[in-house]
Amino acid sequence: MWTFLRRRIISSAIPLIVVIVGVFALARLTGNPASLYLPLNATEQMREDFTARNGFDDPLLVQMANYFGGVLRLDFGVSLRTGEPAGEMVLRAFPATLQLAGVTMLLAVVLAVIVGSWAALKPNGIVDRISSFASMAAASIPDFWLAIMGIWVFAITLGWVPTSGVSSPTSWLLPIAVLLMRPFGVLVQIVRGAMVTSLSEPYIKLARSKGASEVRVVSRHALRNAAAPALTVAGDLAVGLINGAVVVESIFGWPGIGKLMIDSILQRDFAVLQAAVLLTAISIFALNILIDLGYAMLDARVRPTTRARKRRVTPAAAQERKLNVQPTR
């Protein structure tokens, strides 16, 4: 297992470096931040001083080398907007995103397991048809459109929830409802398909013939075997939630890392943007490793095994094995 973890960490380091380099280069293409942070009547000398003070006058490769050196020292630079360390700003905003994504994913998994298992008990029945239509519709609705419509109906027209922020517990309702739709819709289809396959297996028929209740058959036997593919898809959807929270957080004014990224892009706050992308990428890679470990625990067929020690075989024994002859005593 430790060998598996070591290999995954090493393999994840290469795409992580590619992401950091790509964000670093693309951020510089947005222009010089001096045009945003200096007054309109700023002189050329003021612009040169600002550029030199923040290290933007160095060649791009030198800036990149300085940034990687700072990352190794856990120094992610200073925000141009606030003057705070970029790492502290990102760490302060990231828990809000994790809370939103975690609660949403938990609700999506629980509801999808209930609805998908219920639909699988009678394939092509009324419950199955309704759940299939509802899940496909939920998975197809764009997040940004649903967020805007939710604000218009429930916040502006009805006044049930606030339009943005986290001022009250009701502030969680619209962001969670919007983020919940796609993972719920996809997981219902996955759980339903896996449960239909599991419920048709011979061991399920044997359990029923022995008098096991339907609840026990579904929860203890069928659902456990159907959990492996659902876990893989749920992990991918959880990664998508962290990425998709960028749009939803911006619409609802949620103080998470997604909104911080958008604000940093608009204000060319390179240090904060790079720190936010780096932390998000590390979280996604760590989540993928946890998904692989969970899948291996559920399915022994994909569980990494240690190599058996090679036995020392004499030439005579090897020849006897080849000829399939029992050795003489």
CA–CA gap between residue 130 and residue 124 (Å, rounded): 10
What CATH number is given to the structural domain containing 134? 1.10.3720.10
In-domain check, residue 297: no
In-domain check, residue 106: yes
In-domain check, residue 189: yes
In-domain check, residue 103: yes
In-domain check, residue 31: no
Long-range contacts of 308-317 (CB under 8 A, 24+ apart): none
pLDDT (tens, 9 = 90+) of the chain, 329 residues, equals 667 667 777 777 788 788 888 888 877 777 778 777 777 777 888 888 888 887 787 888 888 888 888 888 888 888 888 888 888 888 888 888 888 888 888 898 889 888 888 888 888 888 888 988 888 888 888 888 888 898 899 888 888 888 887 777 888 888 898 888 888 988 888 888 888 877 777 777 777 777 766 667 776 667 777 777 777 787 778 877 777 677 788 888 888 888 888 888 888 888 888 888 888 888 888 877 777 776 666 555 555 554 444 444 444 444 445 445 444 44
Question: Amino acid letter at 77?
Answer: G
Q: Which domain holds residue 101?
A: 93-256
Q: Residue 222: is it exposed, middle or buried by C-beta count within 10 angstroms (0-12/13-18/19+)?
A: buried
Q: What is the pLDDT of residues 119-133, one digit of tens each?
A: 888 888 888 889 888
Burial 184-213 (b: 16+ CB within 10 A, else e): bbbbbbbbbbbbbebbeeeebeebeeeeee
Q: Decide if 270 contacts 51 (C-beta within 8 A).
A: no
Q: What is the pLDDT of residues 54-74, one digit of tens each?
A: 778 788 888 888 888 888 888
* Domains: count for the chain: 1
In-domain check, residue 294: no
In-domain check, residue 147: yes
CA 146-147-149 angle, 5° bins = 65
In-domain check, residue 129: yes
